[in-house]
Structure 1
Amino acid sequence: MGVSSSDLTSDDPAASDLDAVERARRARIGDLSVLFVVPFVLVAVFALPIEARRAYAFSYTEPTVVTAFTAHYVHLTPTHLAGNLVGFVLLASVAYRLSVVAGRRRLFFTSFVTFLLAFPFVLSGLNLAIPRDAVGFGFSGINMALLGYVSVVLVTVAEDCFGADGTRYGPALFFASTSYIVALVLPPSVTAIGLAAIGIVVAIPYGHAAARRSSRTLRGTVGHALATPGYSELLGVCAVVLLAYPIAGFPRPTPGGPRINVYVHFLGYALAFLVVHVFLLVDRRVPPVART
């Protein structure tokens, strides 16, 4: 009885490895194709006449369900569009890479679709909590949701790979980052110092509890991560993004300068952080068999 070449290939470890590499390559290409739909849509919307773009912006005095969604994909100036495109490419690429490392590719795309389709309605609706005669537009709120996602998954990587207590380091990072945002947005004052101090005071107990429950100290976790090939570069990029991107996302208002809605920026960041963190808390309590 003869043996076909296909039978030999299926039992060849080298061929199986090549097949796995090819499948991974195709998966990455497919993932990148999905991600680049967003820049394509943003540029296509910007190509519309200015009158059409203004009509799809979100008026706080005359809100509609349609503009609550479309406003987040509308930009009126090339500078605004370019800034959000650069921010999206940076945040989406870091978020995707972190998710792959953490084995959370499905979580990334579920969150990604949620940010694109559900968050526009939520952010626009919450914007109405502050009555004002203004018009809102731009992708920044969704970009800030991606920043919140990066923060949570960074803690998840530290937990899964280096034994950190993500259930407590997560809240510690959130309150510490909130204090950082307050320091960026508000001019120096007693109120600003008080709000920033509250965030730090709340973060410290979470960080202390996380350090006690982790298999390593915070310094040991960071040291081990930086000494691990591949992780050091990725975690270094994440740290730079978490420190640098809020400077662009939460600029301090200046007289005569552009009016930037830091409120919706913070909402995007905080809601994404909360939703993803709570999901991971629930997911940790699901038995592996049931999760599969």
Structure 2
Amino acid sequence: MTPSATDAGDRAADAADRRTDRAFRRELLASVRAIDLLVLLAVPAVLLAVFALPEATRRSLAFAYADPTALSAFTAHYVHLSADHLLGNLAGYGLLAGVGYALAVLSGRRRLFFTALVAFLLAFPFALSALNLAVPRDAVGFGFSGVNMALAGLLPILWFCYARDRFAPAASVGALPAAFFALVGWIALLALPVSTEGDGQAGLAIVVAGALLAVLYAASSGVRFPRSVRPGVKSLAARPGYGDLLAVGAVVVVGYPVVGFPSDPVGGGGVVNLYVHLLGFCLGFIGPFALLAAGVFDE
């Protein structure tokens, strides 16, 4: 049987896809530096080392809101009292830092990523603990999730940088706040009761406000929405590897808040601190975005 022109075209397309995928893997591996991996792996190493301390020592390093200290304000974010809590935060860090690093190195934003990461690891624990004192309560705070949420706040910025570098060079950084407002509305939808009665009115108001602010900001900043998504889908499909990373990044940006902002924060013998999660997410976005928009990280 003689091969048809369609079969030949399909084989040629498959071969082109394989070449593009190999090119993606080669470029990603060539972009990875040993020192980068050491820095990234140092975080789980520290978390595991702290968890190996006696439980009494770990409890003394947690942040007691009724008796705060400067030392515990920092150390509490590296303390875990249960293996499940530690493993959950390690998995979250691996996902956020791994995807964020890949997006950063392939878009030429390595310096932005590591500057933000160092700030999240060294400065954010103090800031998050201090802002926690704005809500007086007799409780103890600990865990790495606030820093993880800062990485979740950084991820939309890195995703945009990668998308602009690889697929949409004309995109403006001015579109990012619209994405931020939309994500805050999404977080409110996940974490707060949304209805027209009682306490649900606050959740509904935040969801509506986030959506309106996203639309209004996009309109005022001249952001243009494509009339059809088909060309974008074709562009992604034509570049396997590169398009896959863009899709994975988008899924993590939208999906991770489902983990960080559960509708029922009570469980596992503790309460998820949604307040510090929101602070981490917002500060993790606002700081890097301000520096990016100011041209600090322009090469």
Shorter chain as denominator, the TM-score bin is 0.7 to 0.9
Match of 2:273 among 251, 261, 266: 261
Offset, 1:236: 1.1
- Assess, with a 3 A threshold, how the Cα gap between structure 1 residues 201 and 218 changes in structure 2: closer, same or farther: farther
SS of 2:53 mapped into structure 1: coil
Offset, 1:151: 0.9
Verify the 8 A CA contact 2:265 2:274 in the aligned structure 1: no
SS of 2:88 mapped into structure 1: helix
Matched, 1:133 2:138: yes
- Assess, with a 3 A threshold, how the Cα gap between structure 1 residues 220 and 101 changes in structure 2: closer, same or farther: farther
Verify the 8 A CA contact 1:165 1:211 in the aligned structure 2: no
Verify the 8 A CA contact 2:32 2:105 in the aligned structure 1: no
- 2:44 is matched with 39
Match of 1:185 among 188, 191, 201: 191
CA distance in 2, matches of 1:211, 1:119: 33
- 2:103 is matched with 98
Verify the 8 A CA contact 1:46 1:74 in the aligned structure 2: yes
Offset, 1:109: 1.0
Matched, 1:71 2:76: yes
- 1:6 is matched with none
CA distance in 2, matches of 1:111, 1:92: 11
> 5 Å matches for 1:74-85?
74-85=79-90
- Assess, with a 3 A threshold, how the Cα gap between structure 1 residues 83 and 166 changes in structure 2: closer, same or farther: farther
Q: Which amino acid aligns with 2:51?
A: F
- 2:160 is matched with 155
Offset, 1:218: 8.0
- 1:117 is matched with 122
CA distance in 2, matches of 1:256, 1:114: 30
Verify the 8 A CA contact 2:103 2:158 in the aligned structure 1: yes
Verify the 8 A CA contact 1:158 1:164 in the aligned structure 2: no
> 5 Å matches for 1:232-251?
232-251=243-262
Verify the 8 A CA contact 1:211 1:218 in the aligned structure 2: no
- Assess, with a 3 A threshold, how the Cα gap between structure 1 residues 135 and 254 changes in structure 2: closer, same or farther: closer
Verify the 8 A CA contact 1:72 1:120 in the aligned structure 2: yes
CA distance in 2, matches of 1:238, 1:76: 31
Q: Which amino acid aligns with 2:76?
A: A
The structure whose RCO (Cα within 8 Å, separation 6+) is larger is 2
* Structure 2: gaps spanning 5 or more residues: 1-25, 195-199
> 5 Å matches for 1:155-234?
155-161=160-166, 162-188=168-194, 189-209=200-220, 212=223, 219=229, 222-223=232-233, 224-234=235-245
Q: Is the deviation greater in 149-158 or in 81-90?
A: 149-158
- Assess, with a 3 A threshold, how the Cα gap between structure 1 residues 254 and 70 changes in structure 2: closer, same or farther: closer
SS of 2:295 mapped into structure 1: helix
Offset, 1:255: 6.1
CA distance in 1, matches of 2:106, 2:124: 26
- Assess, with a 3 A threshold, how the Cα gap between structure 1 residues 77 and 271 changes in structure 2: closer, same or farther: same
CA distance in 1, matches of 2:144, 2:251: 21
CA distance in 1, matches of 2:31, 2:184: 39
Alignment RMSD: 2.4
**Aligned sequence identity (%):** 47
CA distance in 1, matches of 2:113, 2:36: 11
- Assess, with a 3 A threshold, how the Cα gap between structure 1 residues 168 and 270 changes in structure 2: closer, same or farther: same
Show CA shifts across 1:21-64 (max 9, x none).
Answer: 9xx75952221121111111001100101000000000111111
CA distance in 2, matches of 1:254, 1:143: 17
Count of residue correspondences: 264
Offset, 1:235: 1.1
Verify the 8 A CA contact 1:88 1:143 in the aligned structure 2: yes
